[in-house]
């Protein structure tokens, strides 16, 4: 299947308690590139190998967490096609005019059954990855790849109720595949659902939580597993709070490290994972193997990983 419809997670908007500390973290430590400051003191970042203007928006607020997440879709006609389908699913769609969000075309906005605010947009100004598009080479100038050497925004994991309804929306309306799921071994109830619209093992995931609209983590892609260790070295050097040190997920098979920004929002950097195709069977994990599903190098489930959200 050619990649059309929803393309990728294109933007995550996060609340931070102290913007100066957040800029130190996301800019100097992670090495994301600050591309602008906007309305309400918002700060916008991109990762080096993305072409679109920005992928991360920070807003200073009294509580940490996520304001919204947004997927980029293939073209404007896709937005036109999707709006009535989302309404038919039972969600109210708000139409946001082009330009309301900086460098962005029009957006659809709706609230998921889990309480999360989701947006879709087809256009965001492309400013490139510094290599150009003709004879681009493979390495940008020195200093462009810096900090944790993040290539791009990859996915987010969100917590809330009604995750089966979320998955039904993503599968039936957005044409995602359910790549993996974690279920309770006794009741077979869904505890975490991993959804892909690409060849990645997941583009978004939802974990069952009693409270609506919770934020578990935003994840950034690194080029290699060695870069995960390099990031871990910097996390140690700069005393960044670690949730789970370098390990490998059973789910997705990615090499991972989890840590917190100064506001307590969880971040992940990872590398690897298998290739997902539309005919790849859904993989099921149950709670009898919770350790192996989450952290497969020691098979130990982490209490904080399962309970700390913003």
* Residue ranges in contact with Fe ion by CB under 5 A: 219, 268
Nearest distance, CB of residue 271 and Fe ion, angstroms: 12
Alpha-carbon distance of 224 to 250, in angstroms, equals 18
Which is nearer to Fe ion, 105 or 254 (by Cβ)? 254
Active-site annotation holds for 95: no
Tokens 């009898």 belong to: 288
Please give the Cα distance from 151 to 144 (Å, whole number).
Answer: 11
31/201 with CB nearer Fe ion? 201
Question: Can you read off the two tokens belonging to residue 270?
Answer: 């990872």
Whole-number Cα distances in Å, 32 to 56, 109, 150: 9, 26, 7
- Least Cα distance to 35 among 55, 17, 16 occurs for 55
Please pick, among 33, 54, 116, 155, the residue that the annotation labels catalytic.
Answer: 155
User: What is the number of the residue whose Cβ is closest to Fe ion?
Assistant: 219
Residue placing its CB nearer to Fe ion in the complex, 151 or 219: 219
Respond yes or no: is residue 268 known to be catalytic.
yes
Task: Point out the catalytic residue in the list 25, 33, 116, 249.
Answer: 249
Is 217 catalytic? The answer is: yes
Residue 271: count of CB within 10 angstroms of its CB: 21
Write the CB contacts of 237 (distance below 8 Å, at least 6 apart in sequence): none
Smallest separation, CB 250 to Fe ion (Å):
12
- Give whichever of 122 and 240 is closer to Fe ion, judged by the CB atom: 240
Pick the closer one to Fe ion by CB: 89 or 305.
305
Please state the closest distance from residue 213 (CB atom) to Fe ion, in A.
18
Query: Residue 204's closest CA among 239, 158, 160, 243?
Result: 158
Q: Which residue has the tokens 């939580």?
A: 209
**CB of residue 243 to Fe ion, shortest distance in Å:** 11
CB 30 within 8 A of CB 145: no
> Of the residues 116, 202, 216, 276, which is catalytic?
202
CB of 78: closest distance to Fe ion in angstroms? 26
258 in catalytic set: yes
Q: How many other C-beta atoms are found inside a 10 Å radius of the C-beta of residue 173?
A: 16
Could you give the CA distance from residue 79 to residue 259 in angstroms, rounded to a whole number? 35
Q: Which residues are catalytic?
A: 155, 202, 217, 249, 258, 268
């Amino acid at each position: 299947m050619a990649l059309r419809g929803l393309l990728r997670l294109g933007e995550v908007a996060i609340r931070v308690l102290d913007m100066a500390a957040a800029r130190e973290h996301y800019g100097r430590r992670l090495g994301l590139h600050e591309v602008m400051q906007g309305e309400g003191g918002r700060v916008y970042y991109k990762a080096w190998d993305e072409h679109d203007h920005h992928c991360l928006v920070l807003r200073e607020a009294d509580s940490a967490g996520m304001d919204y997440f947004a997927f980029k879709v293939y073209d404007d006609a896709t937005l036109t096609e999707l709006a009535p389908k989302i309404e038919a699913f039972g969600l109210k769609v708000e139409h946001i005019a082009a330009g309301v969000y900086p460098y962005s075309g029009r957006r659809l906005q709706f609230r998921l059954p889990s309480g999360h605010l989701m947006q879709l947009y087809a256009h965001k100004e492309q400013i490139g990855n510094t290599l150009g598009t003709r004879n681009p080479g493979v390495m940008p100038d020195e200093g462009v790849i810096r900090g944790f050497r993040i290539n791009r925004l990859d996915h987010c994991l969100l917590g809330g109720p009604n995750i089966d309804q979320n998955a039904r929306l993503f599968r039936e309306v957005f044409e995602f595949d359910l790549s993996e799921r974690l279920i309770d071994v006794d009741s077979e109830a869904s505890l975490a659902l991993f959804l892909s619209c690409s060849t990645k093992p997941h583009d978004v995931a939802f974990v069952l939580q009693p409270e609506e609209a919770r934020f578990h983590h935003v994840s950034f892609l690194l080029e290699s597993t060695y870069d995960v260790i390099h990031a871990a070295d910097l996390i140690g050097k700069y005393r960044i709070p670690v949730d789970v040190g370098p390990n490998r997920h059973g789910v997705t098979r990615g090499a991972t490290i989890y840590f917190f920004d100064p506001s307590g929002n969880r971040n992940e950097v990872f590398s690897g994972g298998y290739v997902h195709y539309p005919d790849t069977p859904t993989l099921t994990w149950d709670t009898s193997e919770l350790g192996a599903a989450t952290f497969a190098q020691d098979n130990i489930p982490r209490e904080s990983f399962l309970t700390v959200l913003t």
